[in-house]
Chain A
Amino acid sequence: MSDPDKPFFVGYLPVPRALRAFLLVVCVIFVPGLAGLGLALGTAQDDPGEGAFRFDYGRQTVTGVVELTPYPVLRVTQGSEHVAVGQTLMLAGQGKTSVDARAAPLEGQLATASGVILDRGDLEMMQLRGGQNGLSAAEGAAPEMTTEPLGRWRLAGEICDGKCLAGAMRPGRGIAHKACANLCLLGDIPPVFVTTQPVEGHAFLLITGPGGTKLPAEAYHWVAQFVTVEGEVARRGDLLVLAIDPATLERAD
């Protein structure tokens, strides 16, 4: 039975006097309450880290040797204000597109690259301008570049796409970012392994499939998760490259 002592609300009639105070209290709780939740949730967001597009540097134009790991990198021989000689830049196109088609004809040759820098710690990438404005053959003979093998390693960490992690998206890693990272990797953006312990002083390694192939399809299931993996590590300039053995991928505890 409806309580006869309680006021009865009918939507199209005036609110009973006895209910007005109660409803006022509900409104007073509801409106500031939502504001408080907005503040609590808004200020509970984790720091996405230091990675970012360096638009503040302005456009950088450098010269170096193009290498395909198979993901294209540039071993810088003539730097710029913010890119030093000896640095190895991972190369990417606009958005989630690669520059493989432009880099492949220039493999092993001297080339001029122009674009905007992304960096996070010792991870550096250049997003090239479109067409030949971004990557073109440079005059002169390419100096010989060395690759130093560092042996087989077992590493713990996370597979990310190199561009979002470097700062194209902030944050650009973690489970919530997995689908985005996969889409980048499907677009042949260079993948990166973020280690829990530095390897030869580096926290980020460009990763490839075994024997210098592209990241195999099965690795996509492990992207953005805490995993362990074994592979051959090699140093190319200031960039470490990890050729993973996909059969050794495991979820880390």
Chain B
Amino acid sequence: MSVKYIPVQWNSNKYLYDLVMLCGVALFLYVFLYAAPGLLSHERPINPQVHNARAFGACAFVMLTVILCIGPLARLDTRFLPLLYNRRHFGVMTVFVALTHASYIVDWYFAFSMSDKYEALLFANTSYGQLQGFPFEAFGIFALIVLIILAATSHDFWMKFLTPPVWKRIHYLIYPAYLSVVAHVSFGVLQDQQNHVFTAIFLAGATAVGGLHLVAALAERRRAPAPAADTAEWIDICDLSQMREGFAKIRLLPEGDRVAVFLHEGRLSAISNACAHQNGPLGEGRIIDCLVTCPWHGFQYDVRTGRSPAPFTEKVPTYALRLSGSTVQVDPRANPPGTPVEPVPVSGSGTAEAGV
């Protein structure tokens, strides 16, 4: 949560995160640039510009692959959530590495002619009608533009300015961008390789991203099955005996949203599962200091009102609840964000209902 917008709100965990990330990236580049050439038994060396471009390009691909693996890993095992916490810094660093790759390419392959190098990038190869020899640079340009947009809008100011849903949709562009990077490499350097180590690592990385997202999606579907099409007005969540103090049950609603039903101090409350910050899964969070705490970035909400504690102003929708016997049920019609709902006590029996 933020009181005001400052460039970066640092804390010790972020410092540590960035330090580890920078060490990894620096080591990758150092080894590629300075250790590898001595191990290559080439009669004459690869041009330094080409070597640099390859090092930064390969590094950007590896970084992007790691970044995209963090999300599904965190969904499959919550111990990976700390890697998600500061992932935006990882993404911004990736953009700088990718830009360096692009700079070496433009300043080497597309320079030294009578034409402007950026114009040459667009007209030197226009064989769009063929697979072999396709201008794979176009895929790289698209991916780079997307990465720059995502990095430029990564700050919470832009999330507030654009609104979280719009910001979220913009940031989903990371997936077409990654596919574009895969195409960029597949139509480019992959077709030239005699040594297939790069091909193997590239395929392993791309398969890991695709595979982990698929597995995570299937696991999530198992955890929160979609309600039947002929669902009643009230949606069953679970039996009361399945609720645990301080934790939530998550349920997918007919409209596609998820509700998180918490048991807190012997009473039931329901709020949207999507954090107002980055749509983090509130139901996978914990109640800390009487507040639902998002597992992604620690944003907090009063479970009874869906409101962040003052001076913060974030709000999420709330839901009406009732107990039918021992079955916890929720009204799938969301209340406006920040609407107080009286919690449902669970000590009694029969039907109890929460009122707005």
Contact = CB atoms under 8 A, between A and B. Distances in A.
Contacts of B286: 2, 8
B231 interface: no
Interface string A37-57: 111111111111111100000
B81 interface: yes
B11 A11 contact: yes
Contacts of A77: none
A26 B83 CA distance: 9
A198 interface: no
A117 to B, nearest CB: 14
A17 interface: no
Contacts of A183: 109-110, 113, 115, 120, 124
Interface string B110-121: 111111000011
B338 interface: no
Interface centre among A7, A42, A222 (most CB of B within 10 A): A42
Nearest to A174: B192
Contacts of B85: 9, 11
B197 A175 contact: no
B143 to A, nearest CB: 16
A34 B28 contact: yes
B197 A225 contact: no
Given A2-B284, A49-B43, A42 B113 contact: no
A239 to B, nearest CB: 23
B14 interface: yes
Given A11-B298, A15-B82, A178-B125, A35 B31 contact: yes
A45 B195 contact: yes
A177 interface: yes
Interface in B280-320: 283-286, 288, 293, 295, 297-298
A2 B223 CA distance: 11
B55 A42 contact: yes
A187 interface: yes
B139 to A, nearest CB: 13
A38 B78 CA distance: 29
Contact of A40 (B27, B37, B197): B197
B31 to A, nearest CB: 4
Nearest to B37: A42
A95 B117 CA distance: 13
A44 B110 contact: no
A32 B108 CA distance: 31
A48 B132 contact: no
Contacts of B135: 179
Interface string B223-250: 0000000000000000000101011111
B169 interface: no
A29 to B, nearest CB: 10
A94 B114 CA distance: 11
Interface string A212-253: 000000001111110000000000000000000000000100
Contacts of A170: 44-47, 50
Contacts of A35: 24, 27-28, 30-31
Contact of A225 (B129, B133, B201): B133
Contacts of B323: none
Interface string A1-34: 1111011111111010001001100110011111
Contacts of A177: 109, 192
Given A40-B201, A45-B40, A46-B194, 18 more contacts: A2-B78, A2-B248, A3-B78, A8-B286, A9-B85, A10-B298, A19-B79, A31-B24, A39-B31, A39-B39, A45-B46, A45-B51, A46-B195, A97-B113, A97-B114, A169-B108, A169-B109, A175-B136
Interface of A: 1-4, 6-13, 15, 19, 22-23, 26-27, 30-35, 37-52, 94-97, 167, 169-171, 174-180, 182-184, 186-187, 220-225, 251
Interface of B: 11, 13-14, 20, 23-25, 27-33, 35-37, 39-47, 50-51, 54-55, 58-59, 62, 66, 78-83, 85-86, 108-115, 120-121, 124-125, 127, 129-130, 132-133, 135-137, 187-189, 191-198, 201, 242, 244, 246-250, 283-286, 288, 293, 295, 297-298
Shortest beta-carbon contacts, A-B, top 10: A42-B36, A95-B112, A44-B197, A38-B31, A42-B32, A180-B109, A38-B28, A174-B192, A96-B113, A34-B24
14 contacts: A2-B247, A11-B13, A38-B32, A38-B35, A38-B59, A43-B36, A48-B42, A48-B47, A49-B43, A97-B114, A179-B124, A182-B125, A183-B113, A223-B133
